[in-house]
Amino acid sequence: MKSSRNVMTFAGGIHPHGDGKSLTCYTPVQNAPLLDKYFVILAQNAGKPPIPVVKKGDRVKKYQLLAAADGAVSANLHSPTSGIVSNIRDIQGTHGVPTSAIEISADGLDEADSPFAPIPDWRHADVDILKQRVIEAGIVGMGGASFPTHVKLSPPEGKSVDTLILNGAECEPYLTADHRLMQEFPEKVIRGAAILGRILNIGNIFVGVEINKLDAIAALEHYAGDYGVKIAYLRVRYPQGSEKQLINAITGRTVRSGTLPMDSGCIVQNVATCAALDDAVTLGIPSVERIVTVTGEVVVKPGNFKLKIGTPALEAVRFAGGITEEPGKLVFGGPMMGFAQRSFQVPVCKNTSGILLIPQKQAYNFESSGCIHCGRCVQGCPMNLVPCLLSTAIEAGRFDLAAENHIMDCMECGSCAYVCPDHRPLIQNVRHAKAELRKQMNASKEK
């Protein structure tokens, strides 16, 4: 294993110029004032959405269970504040389609009533109790995938996991939520990692941080020793925070195509997930709020805000002082992999790391005239694919050729489209082909 003083990295990738982090990385996290209404979307986790346990007109306290997990790959939802369930209806979701949400009218008291007690002595607590807490508290991956965390904590029989990696790379431009979290609440992050290590029975714990966050690294190092956690310095390179690239950079292991990180003995968790886990265990509060970067060149006072789940984007922009001009794009997440939204009414979810407003002049659809085979996408691809030829095959309808050339290994990081001088719709094509291939696969299964 490499020494932790080395700056580690992976092959390929890009370095976005003007990454926009300086807009928000120097200002402390601000608490947001209480709103009148919150819209808690049910389908916040990967897998099955939870089933509501409250009905219209019910009085709820802060932290009270709103919806219970439906099956193993699902996560509980809790109330962000006290008030009345004023409606359960379809609203505009984060993926562009209407989705079911619980509308809470706040009573302004913010009265807390946690369904479970803190476990201050987690070092000696039963592992099953800790695991149960992760399930109860509705912890999901807060880096973007929102995969229920407890699923990752139960490796199947025969798979041994020896390394836990905390993802503090935050390689997405503009986002600084994880940066501020690590700098202002380092102990939560480190302790959350230690709790995860205890659950998984792993002593080999790394926090991977890109070296553009030296102040956060210094804050983490203050606590790292006490909890037996190591800090891994990462080169500033997108997509450094991708699971496979992170594992490769820190441990030198290669996650084989078509397998899970677990198969290479590694588990990766986002730092925000660890902080939420620490809250759930040591304070006994479920996951109902997160730090969100509200940023963009058109935002008056960009910054990081502790937002309750269910805060509409419009209110988040209001906390950030409004706008200077009408934005051309609203993105949930970072600019490289985030989702463009239809409306400012879309609420914050557990995986919303950023709310990014993009000026109109940058928000038009490019026209493409033809691939000139410059090969920049090939240099940029962290998965060693050849995006330009894949895309040409897809445009010709040759999904079989795309599959043969490993299109399923693409993680849609967008490095290729970022560098493309012709602004080809490379990622759109990849998504199209993946959907088409899945459809074909399902059709052949049914036969």
Partner 1 sequence: MTDVDNDNIKLPTGEKLVLSSSPHLSSGSSLRKIMGGVLLALIPQIAASAWLFGMRALFIIFYTAVCCVAAEALWCKLADKDVWRNISDCSACVTGVLLAMCLPVTVPLYVPPLGAILAIWLAKQVYGGIGNNPFNPALVARVGLLIALPAAMTLWTPSRGMKQTNYPEKQLFYTAENIKKINNGEPLDGVSCATPLGVMKSIEKITDRSFKAEDNFTELDSWEMISRYAVGDRAGCLGETCAPALILGFFILVILNLINWKVPVIFIGTVMLITGTVNAIWPGVSPNPLFHLLNGGLLLGAIFMATDMVTSPITGRGCAVFACGCGILTSVIRLWGNYPEGVSFAILFMNALVPLIDRWCGKRPFGFVPKREKVNAHE
Crossing angle, helix 186-200 and helix 214-227, to 10 degrees? 40
- Which DSSP category does 155 fall into? P
State which of residues 339, 395, 398, 436 lies at the interface with partner 1 (CB under 8 A).
339
Nearest to 170 by CA among 221, 209, 226, 202: 209
Could you tell me the smallest distance in angstroms from the CB atom of residue 374 to partner 1? 4
Measured on CA atoms in the order 306, 308, 309, 314, is the torsion positive or negative?
A: negative
- 109 sits near partner 1 (criterion: CB under 8 A): no
Could you tell me the smallest distance in angstroms from the CB atom of residue 237 to partner 1? 14
CA angle 15, 358, 378 (to 5 degrees): 30
Site size toward partner 1 (CB under 8 A) is 85
Contact range with partner 1 by CB under 8 A, out of 34-42, 123-131, 157-165, 201-209:
34-42
Could you tell me the smallest distance in angstroms from the CB atom of residue 323 to partner 1? 5
Nearer to partner 1, 26 or 366 (CB): 366
Measured distance CA(347)–CA(93) in Å, rounded: 8
Cβ neighbors of 202 (< 8 A, separation 6 or more) are 161, 162, 163, 164, 196, 267
Could you tell me the smallest distance in angstroms from the CB atom of residue 338 to partner 1? 6
Measured distance CA(140)–CA(119) in Å, rounded: 20
Could you tell me the smallest distance in angstroms from the CB atom of residue 300 to partner 1? 8
* Measured CA distances, 316 to 161, 267, 348 (Å): 39, 33, 9
Measured distance CA(329)–CA(38) in Å, rounded: 23
State which of residues 50, 143, 302, 327 lies at the interface with partner 1 (CB under 8 A).
327
Measured distance CA(213)–CA(233) in Å, rounded: 10
Could you tell me the smallest distance in angstroms from the CB atom of residue 97 to partner 1? 12
Q: Which two tokens stand for residue 87?
A: 């409606």
Contact range with partner 1 by CB under 8 A, out of 111-119, 137-145, 311-319, 434-442:
311-319
Measured distance CA(391)–CA(187) in Å, rounded: 45
Nearer to partner 1, 68 or 386 (CB): 386
Nearer to partner 1, 169 or 193 (CB): 169
Nearer to partner 1, 189 or 377 (CB): 377
- 330 sits near partner 1 (criterion: CB under 8 A): yes
Helices (H), 369-422: 376-380, 387-395, 399-404, 415-419
CA angle 125, 126, 132 (to 5 degrees): 105
- 62 sits near partner 1 (criterion: CB under 8 A): no
Contact range with partner 1 by CB under 8 A, out of 50-58, 200-208, 282-290, 310-318:
310-318
Window 290-309: residues binding partner 1 (CB under 8 A): 300
- Which DSSP category does 112 fall into? B
Could you tell me the smallest distance in angstroms from the CB atom of residue 53 to partner 1? 27
Window 344-363: residues binding partner 1 (CB under 8 A): 344, 356-358, 360, 362-363
With contact defined as beta carbons under 8 Å apart, do 275 and 220 qualify?
A: no
Nearest to 189 by CA among 214, 151, 234, 226: 226
- 375 sits near partner 1 (criterion: CB under 8 A): yes
State which of residues 306, 398, 406, 437 lies at the interface with partner 1 (CB under 8 A).
406
Could you tell me the smallest distance in angstroms from the CB atom of residue 299 to partner 1? 10
Window 150-209: residues binding partner 1 (CB under 8 A): 173
Helices (H), 163-312: 177-184, 186-200, 214-227, 243-251, 271-278
Could you tell me the smallest distance in angstroms from the CB atom of residue 256 to partner 1? 5
Measured distance CA(187)–CA(228) in Å, rounded: 12
State which of residues 8, 9, 13, 14 lies at the interface with partner 1 (CB under 8 A).
14
Nearer to partner 1, 34 or 283 (CB): 34
Nearer to partner 1, 173 or 186 (CB): 173
State which of residues 3, 5, 28, 33 lies at the interface with partner 1 (CB under 8 A).
33
Window 254-283: residues binding partner 1 (CB under 8 A): 254-257, 259
Q: Is the peptide bond before 120 cis (omega within 30 degrees of 0)?
A: no
Measured distance CA(397)–CA(60) in Å, rounded: 53
Nearer to partner 1, 48 or 431 (CB): 431
Window 412-431: residues binding partner 1 (CB under 8 A): 412, 414, 417-423, 425, 427-428, 431
